């Protein structure tokens, strides 16, 4: 039983990270109907930004408080990846909006290749380990909960609340929802569609950057090809929850995290990715709309 | 706005300067951490950092100047040309073609047929190894894969992101069956194709209801599952170590290319020992396989099933209401595409003599799909050109050791291969979203065959 709860906690931590990345996928898909293939690499970029901030901050201020350091990593990472994703949307996706359907997908795949290879070239192909930042652990009976796990879940919860507030309670969020429902109509009613889409990309990237920084904190290592597998898993989460649905993305992320850690604990660790991909296939085959998604009606 | 563009350049120039400065500022912040700072491991294996302001400055200047030139000169130029074209009223597809254009296919085929001998003649036996193997065979493998995927994506309009799975099935079928049972290449080549086609049907069956992006993601998942199984099923596949010592293909069982056998090709013909004969032989094998793929594609397009594929691509609902069985139509497309992937896989295994899951990563699928889309979906010539440019270009980059003298001895061009590859994908897509060959020759026509612009054909919903 303790073992099960322990795995549940691990799964929840991992799931929070996937959920944050999944929101970026689901928002972009909802608003312009494209799979942003480069989103996983945006997540990786966020991890690298956090890594570099960590190195600079610790070398200048040796005794910097961990809370301040973490805040700095998250903020710089969010700004940095937000800027990157804004540029990417402007350069590679916007000119192809309204072009044929495969075109933005191909540029997104190209962008994903460019981003991971750009980091490989500029920062080197080796894994980048950092010393552990947060080492405290709590013991509750036989269950161990580390402070970093608590931090990840809490930060995710706070961000999700902020995000929910923006989407549901602000004019910006209203513009986003309007653009998602009907882009042309939204434009006619005075919503600046281009700006709304840009902000959506920035928001998605900021959440991915937080996920990247926390991934770095959790595993203590960053690598240029960290983007692909977590990216596909986060996409799986978005699809599982119902693509286009924000609560669905979080729910899907948590489910994928739980499935992955429970599968590794009880079955085989080698096949954990196979399990995730198989779930993706099964969900799409039997319930393509996901858990919370709306069915898509096809018109002639 | 219109007045500014018509009256003259000062406004355009001012705008270009503004945009250039803006691009400079944006790129400064973008590259500040990733280019301006270098992280590396010191002697104690601890991660440390140092600054690279010079490199950062180069990046910023390139971005700013590039943006300035684009806004100030390149874009107005393109706009003017477009306007002039629109005014003159000449359609993009002209009827006049010069000799080279008209006979391009014949010229290309003849060139391919004499290519190995040409390279033997010019650079000799040792030198032509590189040209026949790295350029010739490598490119032709990708041409074949891209043509195979073209059946699924270009003709039937089903977006497949896991095509490399069938390539892997073909390669492992040959590798395993030849090393466990000792079957020959010529027996296993069709068998690999059939096995891959079988997998195409197995994987195709559950995804019949899916369309578009969903289909793309499920096929991606299947591709990854097959790769992960190859990695983890170590008893059979030897995992990441891969299978080595795969048997070479023989000259239809008459002569062998293994040294020391009695019917060795070199001995039988009294030639001096060299591995180049085997490479030339392989070149013709893959060339024949490519031609088979092209022939089958062209013939199938004129048959009911090919017509059904294209109808499916244009409009699935209309297709179904006309009584076309979409299930068999989709499955045959999957199976036919997979079969050619399987042939290519078997050939790849015998050419390398070694297969490992490393060769079948998602990136390969993306590269093959990129060739199909960049070449102009459905156009065999365009796809072949895309494969030549993309694979050949990256191979040429490998050869550019003279760049070392420009950028210093630490410079390794291979590192930039994929980076440039990705950039090329984006840039080609931005300027030619319909691919290199943007026109289509219809197979069914009323009075005379007339090419239509690619913009008039759909790419299907999957």
The interface predicted TM-score (ipTM) is: 0.86
Q: Are strands B243-244 and B47-51 parallel, antiparallel or unpaired?
A: unpaired
For residues A179 and A196, the answer to whether their CB atoms sit within 8 Å is: yes
Pick among B314, B425, B438, B460 to test the A interface (most A CBs inside 10 A) = B425
| B62 contacts chain A (CB < 8 A) | no
Residue pair A211/A25 in contact by the 8 Å Cβ criterion: no
Half-sphere exposure for A111 (CA within 13 Å, toward CB): 26
Closest chain A residue to the Cα of B435, Cα to Cα: A103
How many whole angstroms separate alpha carbon B437 and alpha carbon A161? 50
Considering only CB atoms, A52 lies closest to which of B39, B206, B231, namely B39
Q: What is the pLDDT of residues A14-68, one digit of tens each?
A: 999 999 999 988 888 888 888 888 999 999 999 999 999 998 888 888 778 888 8
Provide the 3-class DSSP secondary structure of residue B411: coil
pLDDT by position in tens, chain B (length 462): 444 444 456 788 888 888 899 999 999 988 988 888 888 887 777 788 888 888 888 889 999 999 888 888 888 888 888 888 777 765 555 555 566 666 777 788 888 777 777 777 777 767 777 777 778 888 899 999 999 999 888 888 888 888 999 999 999 998 888 888 878 888 888 999 999 999 999 888 877 777 667 788 788 888 888 888 888 887 777 877 878 777 777 777 667 776 666 666 666 666 666 677 778 888 888 899 999 999 998 888 888 888 888 888 877 888 888 888 888 888 999 899 999 999 999 999 888 888 888 888 888 888 898 888 888 777 888 888 888 888 888 777 777 666 666 666 666 666 777 888 888 888 888 887 777 665 555 555 666 656 655 555 555 544
For A94, nearest residue in chain B (alpha carbons): B430
Interatomic CA distance for residues B295 and B286, integer angstroms: 14
Question: Are B426 and A281 in contact (CB < 8 Å)?
Answer: no
Q: How many Å from the N-terminal Cα to the C-terminal Cα in chain B?
A: 42
C-alpha B339/C-alpha B166 separation (Å) is: 8
- Indicate the SS3 state at residue B129: helix
The reply to whether A272 falls in a domain is no
3-state DSSP percent of chain B in helix, strand and coil, to 5: 70, 5, 25
Q: How many CB atoms lie within 10 A of CB A157?
A: 12
Closest-CA residue of chain A to B416: A121
A87 in reach of chain B (CB within 8 A): yes
**Distance from C-alpha of B459 to C-alpha of B462, rounded to nearest angstrom:** 8
Contact yes or no for B342/B196 (Cβ under 8 A): yes
Structural domain count, chain A? 1
**Range(s) within chain B of domains with CATH label 1.10.3470:** 107-235+276-350+364-399+432-456
Tokens 């990417």: give the residue. Answer: A88
Q: Which of B72, B426, B421 is nearest to A96 (CA)?
A: B426
Q: Does B370 touch chain A (CB under 8 A)?
A: yes
Domain of A210, in residue numbers: 16-226
Interchain contact, B369 vs A106, CB within 8 Å: yes
**SS3 state of residue A131:** coil
Residues A215, A49 contacting (CB under 8 angstroms): no
Residue A273 lies in a domain: no
pTM over 0.80, yes/no: yes
- Domain B107-235+276-350+364-399+432-456 CATH (choose: 1.10.760, 1.10.3470, 3.10.50, 3.40.109): 1.10.3470
Q: Between residues 28 and 47 of chain B, which touch chain A (CB distance below 8 Å)?
A: 29-30, 33-35, 37-41, 47
Q: Does A269 touch chain B (CB under 8 A)?
A: no
CA of A56: which chain B residue's CA is closest? B49
H or E stretch covering A176: helix A171-181
> Would you call A53 an interface residue with chain B, using a CB distance cutoff of 8 Å?
yes
Name chain A contacts of B424, Cβ cutoff 8 Å: 110
The answer to whether B177 faces chain A, any CB pair under 8 Å, is no
Closest residue of chain B to A296, computed from CA coordinates: B211
In whole angstroms, give the CA distance from residue A73 to residue A79.
10
How many CB atoms are closer than 10 A to CB A297?
5
Say if residues A252 and A237 touch (Cβ distance below 8 Å): yes
Residues of A numbered 8-37 whose beta carbons fall under 8 angstroms of chain B's beta carbons: which are they?
29, 34-35
CB count within 10 Å of CB A142 equals 10
């Amino acid at each position: 039983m303790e073992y099960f709860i322990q795995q549940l906690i691990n799964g929840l931590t991992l799931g929070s990270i996937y959920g944050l990345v999944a929101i970026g996928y689901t928002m972009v898909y909802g608003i312009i109907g494209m799979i942003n293939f480069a989103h996983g690499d945006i997540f990786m970029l966020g991890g690298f930004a956090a890594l570099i901030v960590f190195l600079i901050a610790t070398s200048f201020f040796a005794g910097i408080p961990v809370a301040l350091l973490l805040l700095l990593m998250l903020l710089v990472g969010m700004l940095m990846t937000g800027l990157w994703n804004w540029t990417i949307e402007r350069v590679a996706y916007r000119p192809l909006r309204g072009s044929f359907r495969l075109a933005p997908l191909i540029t997104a795949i190209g962008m994903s290749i460019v981003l991971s290879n750009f980091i490989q070239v500029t920062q080197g192909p080796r894994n980048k380990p950092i010393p552990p930042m947060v080492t405290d652990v709590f013991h509750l009976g036989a269950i161990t909960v580390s402070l970093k796990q608590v931090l990840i879940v809490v930060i995710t919860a706070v961000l999700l609340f902020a995000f929910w507030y923006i989407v549901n309670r602000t004019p910006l969020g209203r513009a986003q929802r309007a653009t998602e429902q009907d882009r042309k109509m939204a434009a006619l009613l005075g919503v600046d569609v281009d700006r709304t889409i840009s902000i959506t990309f920035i928001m998605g990237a900021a959440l991915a950057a937080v996920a990247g920084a926390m991934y770095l904190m959790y595993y203590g290592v960053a690598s240029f090809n960290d983007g692909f597998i977590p990216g596909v898993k986060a996409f799986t989460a978005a699809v599982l929850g119902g693509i286009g649905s924000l609560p669905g993305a979080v729910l899907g992320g948590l489910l994928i995290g739980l499935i992955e850690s429970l599968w590794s604990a009880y079955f085989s660790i080698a096949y954990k990715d196979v399990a995730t991909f198989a779930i993706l296939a099964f969900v799409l085959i039997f319930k393509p709309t996901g858990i919370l998604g709306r069915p898509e009606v096809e018109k002639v | 706005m219109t007045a500014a563009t018509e009256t003259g350049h000062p406004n355009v120039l001012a705008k270009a300067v503004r945009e250039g400065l803006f691009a400079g500022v944006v790129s400064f912040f973008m590259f500040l951490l990733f280019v301006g700072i270098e992280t590396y491991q010191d002697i104690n294996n601890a991660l440390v950092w140092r600054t690279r302001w010079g490199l950062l400055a180069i990046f910023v200047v390139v971005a700013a100047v590039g943006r300035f030139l684009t806004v100030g000169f390149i874009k107005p130029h393109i706009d003017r040309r477009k306007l002039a074209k629109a005014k003159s009223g000449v359609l993009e597809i002209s009827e006049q073609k010069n000799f080279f254009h008209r006979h391009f296919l014949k010229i290309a085929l003849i060139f391919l047929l004499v290519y190995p001998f040409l390279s033997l003649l010019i650079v000799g036996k040792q030198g032509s190894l590189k040209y026949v193997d790295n350029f010739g065979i490598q490119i032709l493998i990708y041409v074949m894969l891209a043509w195979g995927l073209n059946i699924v994506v270009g003709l039937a309009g089903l977006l497949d992101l896991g095509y490399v799975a069938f390539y892997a099935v073909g390669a492992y079928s040959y590798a395993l069956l030849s090393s466990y049972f000792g079957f020959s290449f010529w027996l296993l080549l069709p068998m690999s194709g059939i096995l891959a086609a079988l997998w195409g049907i197995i994987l195709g069956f559950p995804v019949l209801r899916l369309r578009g992006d969903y289909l793309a993601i499920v096929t991606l998942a299947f591709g990854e599952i097959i790769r992960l199984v190859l990695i983890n099923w170590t008893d059979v596949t030897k995992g990441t170590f891969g299978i080595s010592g795969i048997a070479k293909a023989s000259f239809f069982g008459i002569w062998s290319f293994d040294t020391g056998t009695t019917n060795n090709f070199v001995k039988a013909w009294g030639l001096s020992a060299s591995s180049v004969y085997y490479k030339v032989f392989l070149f013709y094998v893959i060339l024949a396989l490519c031609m088979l793929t092209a022939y089958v594609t062209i013939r199938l397009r004129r048959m009911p099933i090919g017509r059904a594929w294209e109808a499916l691509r244009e409009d699935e609902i209309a297709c179904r209401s006309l009584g076309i069985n979409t299930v068999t139509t989709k499955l045959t497309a999957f199976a036919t595409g997979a079969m050619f992937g399987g042939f290519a896989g078997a050939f790849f295994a015998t050419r390398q003599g070694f297969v490992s899951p490393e060769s079948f990563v998602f990136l390969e699928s993306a590269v093959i799909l990129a060739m199909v889309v960049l070449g102009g979906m459905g156009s065999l010539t365009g796809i072949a050109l895309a494969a030549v440019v993309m694979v050949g270009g990256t191979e040429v980059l490998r050869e550019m050791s003279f760049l070392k003298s420009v950028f210093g001895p630490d410079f390794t061009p291979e590192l930039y291969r994929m980076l440039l590859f990705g950039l090329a994908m984006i840039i080609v897509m931005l300027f030619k979203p319909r691919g290199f060959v943007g026109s289509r020759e219809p197979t069914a026509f009323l009075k005379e065959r007339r090419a239509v612009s690619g913009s008039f054909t759909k790419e299907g919903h999957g």
